[in-house]
Amino acid sequence: MTRNLPGVYTAKKKDNSIYYRASITLNKKHISLGSYPDERSAHLAYQEAHLIIKSGSILLEDYTASSPLPFIKWVSLVNFRDNGLYFSMPIYLKRNFFLYYLTPSYCLKFDIDDLFYYSSKKIMQRGGHLFVNDYGMQYSILNRYGIKNYAVCGKDYRFINGDSSDFRYENIEILNRFHGLSCIPAKNRPGFLYKVHIHVRSRYVVGVYEQETEAAIAYNKAADILKKNGIDRNFAQNYIEGLSPAVYADIYSKLQISPNIFRLTPENT
C-alpha cells in the first residue's frame, strides 16, 4: 500500500483497480474507517473520525446522511471516546445496559450480559423480524429468550413496558412457552386460560385448560391420537421440564380432548 493524505492508504482490487482505505490509530489501537472510491473521501472520513474523538461535544444524534463516515463507525467512535471500549458493531454503552443502533433513529436496548454476544453479531431486520447470522444460520434474537420463531407479540410474549425495542430480560414476559397454545382471558377470574389448537389442514380446537402444563400435554395427546388415526405428520412435541414420567402419565390419562380430534382421519382432513 502507498500512503497519501493523512489517514489514507491506497489498495488494489483483484482487477488491479485502485481504491482508498481510511484508518485512524487511537491509544495504540488501529481502527479501520472503511473503503472509499477516491482519496479525498477517505481523507474526509479520517478528519471526521479525528474530530469525533477529540471533541466531546459531538453526539450520536449529530450524525447526518452527508457524513463521510458510515453511521456504524460514528457510533463505534463515540462509544470508544466516551467509554474507552471499541466495538465493530454500532454499540453504545450505558450504565447497566447498551444500545445497539440499527439506524440513526432506531436502536435496541439489551442487558449488559448480552454484550459479549452482540459485540460480534450484526443484527439485521427483514419484514419486521430481527435476526443474526450465527455459524452460518439465521437466528431470531427472540430465540435467546426461549421465544419461538412463529410466536406472536401480545399473545405468546409481551414487552412489559410497551417498548418493543427494549430487549432487556426484565422487560420480556413469555406468555406461552409451548406449541399449540394461545392465552385467552379467563371470564370469571383474573389471569388467563389456555386454548389449544392443532393444525392438520386447518386449525382444530383441542380444548381449553386452566393450567399451562395441562394444555401443553393436551397438545401432545391430540398429536398422538392423530398419529394413531393414520395422519402422518411431524407434530412437534411439548417437553415439560421438572415433570416425572408418572405425573405426566397421570395428567395425560385424565385430560379431556375434543371429540372432533378423535374423528379426524386422512380421509376427512
Please report the sign of the dihedral spanned by the C-alpha atoms of residue 75, residue 76, residue 79, residue 80. Answer: negative
Q: What is the pLDDT of residue 1?
A: 46
pLDDT tens sequence across 56-103: 889 999 999 999 999 999 999 999 999 999 999 999 999 999 999 999
Q: Is 42 helix (H, G, I), strand (E, B) or coil?
A: helix
Q: Report the C-alpha dihedral over residues 53, 34, 167, 125, rounded to 10 degrees.
A: 150
Q: Domain-by-domain residue ranges, the chain?
A: 1-62, 181-268
- The grid coordinates listed for 218 are 393436551
- Give the Cα separation of 70 and 77 in Å (integer): 11
Of residues 234 and 268, more confidence is placed in 234
- Per the listing, cell 485512524 goes with 24
CB-hemisphere CA count at 13 Å for 212? Answer: 16
Least confident of 148-157, 198-207, 220-229, 238-247: 148-157
**How crowded is the C-beta side of 133, counted as CA atoms within 13 Å?**
3
How do residues 11-60 score in pLDDT, each as one tens digit? 888 898 899 999 998 878 889 999 999 999 999 999 999 999 988 889 99
**pTM surpassing 0.85?**
no
Helix (H) / strand (E) element for 228: namely helix 212-228
Q: What Å distances lie between residue 198 and 30, 60, 86, 181, 204, CA to CA?
A: 56, 48, 49, 9, 5
Residue 5 banded pLDDT, cuts 50, 70, 90: confident
**pLDDT of residue 196 exceeding 90:** yes
Average pLDDT over residues 205-233: 94
Distance CA 52, CA 86 (A): 14
Instruction: Match 450480559 to its residue by C-alpha cell.
Output: 113
* CATH of span 1-62: 3.30.730
